[in-house]
Amino acid sequence: MVSVNVPRLVIAAPASGSGKTTVATGLMRAFADAGLAVSPHKVGPDYIDPGYHALATGRPGRNLDAYMCGPERIAPLFLHGAAGCDLALVEGVMGLYDGASGQGELASTAHVAKLLKAPVVLVVDASSQSRSVAALVHGFASWDPEVRVAGVILNKVGSDRHEAVLREALAESGVPVLGALRRVAGLNTPSRHLGLIPVAERRTEAVAAVAAQAAQVREGCDLEALLALARSAPALPEEAWSPAAGRPGPVAQFPAPLTGRAPGVVGRRSAGLGAPPAVAGGGWAQPDHGEQPSAPRPVIAIAGGAAFTFSYAEHAELLTAAGADVVRFDPLRDESLPPGTDGLVIGGGFPEVHVADLSANAPLRKEVAALAATGAPVVAECAGLLYLCRTLDGKEMCGVLPADARMSERLTLGYREAVALADNSLAAAGTRVRGHEFHRTVVEPAASADTPAWGITHPARRLEGFVHGGVHASYLHTHWAGAPAMAHRLVAQAAARA
């Protein structure tokens, strides 16, 4: 095994709301503007921050989630994303030591920093404190001796005098101040019911905001000292993750994909897969071609655009490596699926914000319903689930599922453990996965009475989602790097139609 040396920093904070996304994104853009190839990463399952990271760096934002992917995959996934880069910046999640509820450090920023052997820079909201900042930083720096809190960036500083008091106090802590940023009105990214508004919905404003964040960071941070700190990180004795080598890990073990055809179910080009047996309990992107096998490559269409912005970069990479041509389409703009679509992936996003426009695109809704009716593999997560319902907030959707969706005041949020209760397009019966839920909507009924998509086993037992012909739809977000056989299974079933 060859050790790999990637200069890297983890940008963390004592708590949410400290400004770490603003600072991390500004740092990414500032270093990129200086001519460095910057690899952006985000701890945890969040989809929105990586969109801003991608805008800042020109590279895909990638998640490092030790709960969904397993701690053993964090360094390999990091090295995969950071290949060929001069610097990697990892934005943390919540407070430095906050992780999966009730499971110690698992999936916390501190946990990921230790797995990456990366120095941590703590972003501290100094707006309502002076000398107390030293006690705060000392506590975070000394809590876990395996976590190297190697610098502080003071955020929301009120004045030169305020900054001087803060620096004087921190001089006794032994943790150097690497930046001090003034309070600037309007610099932060606007939020709504599920956090920040995605880049895809405000691209012009987002471009200007990221540039402003970079300008503030250049003025207030010691970029040379930060880069020197990043270069002090030791080499990682790991091999980079590869989508072509997709290894099922300890979180989820999968049987071989289904390959049979169901009589009487006719696809567009050949017979498709029938319903799995129940078990108790703005234009198309061009396909990304890998090596060409002798058999036809199935076309997997992935929904995108402003309504469906939630997708992990590794999913498309895994599908391509498994033998598919991956093509993206926008349900807000495109009136038909990409030519030759054999399978469909509709991930998360905000269909509730764009419900009128989605409903108005009747030609595409009808085409999605027609594809699902052939038994083609259709995988829908959260927003995709809503889009496949009969209605969303009273507006007509695709009508693939016998359910209706609506907005709710209640936030559903957290990690989940689940088991597949029936063979389906994504997993074989008995497959165990870890995932994440994050929504303010309700689907009625919440699950199919005959073939639910998942049985949630933690934190509370319940049925979730729908298996309906070739459709697998649920609220559960999964990361296929932690269960790569799901991508292979999806491609195998789509290939049966190609």
Q: Active-site residue numbers? A: 382
What gap in Å lies between CA 382 and CA 465, rounded to an integer? Answer: 9
What gap in Å lies between CA 175 and CA 165, rounded to an integer? Answer: 15
In 3D space, the residue among 408, 370, 368 whose CA is nearest the CA of residue 388 turns out to be 368
SS (HEC) of the chain: CCCECCCEEEEECCCCCCCHHHHHHHHHHHHHHCCCCEEEEEECCCCHHHHHHHHHHCCCCEEECHHHHCHHHHHHHHHHHHCCCCEEEEECCCCCCCCCCCCCCCCCHHHHHHHHCCCEEEEEECCCCCCHHHHHHHHHHHHCCCCCEEEEEEEEECCHHHHHHHHHHHCCCCCCEEEEEECCCCCCCCEECCEECCHHHCHHHHHHHHHHHHHHHHHHECHHHHHHHHHCCCCECCCCCCHHHCCCCCCCCCCCCCCCCCCCCECCCCECCCCCCCCCCCCCCCCCCCCCCCCCCCEEEEECCCCCCECCHHHHHHHHHCCCEEEEECCCCCCCCCCCEEEEEECECCCCCCHHHHHHCHHHHHHHHHHHHCCCCEEEECHHHHHHCCEECCEECCCCCCCEEEEEEEEEEEEEEEECCCCCCCCCCCCEEEEEEEEEEEEECCECCCCCCEEEEECCCEEEEEEECCEEEECCEECHHHCCHHHHHHHHHHHCCC
Q: Write down how long the chain is.
A: 498
Other CB atoms within 10 A of residue 1 CB: 7
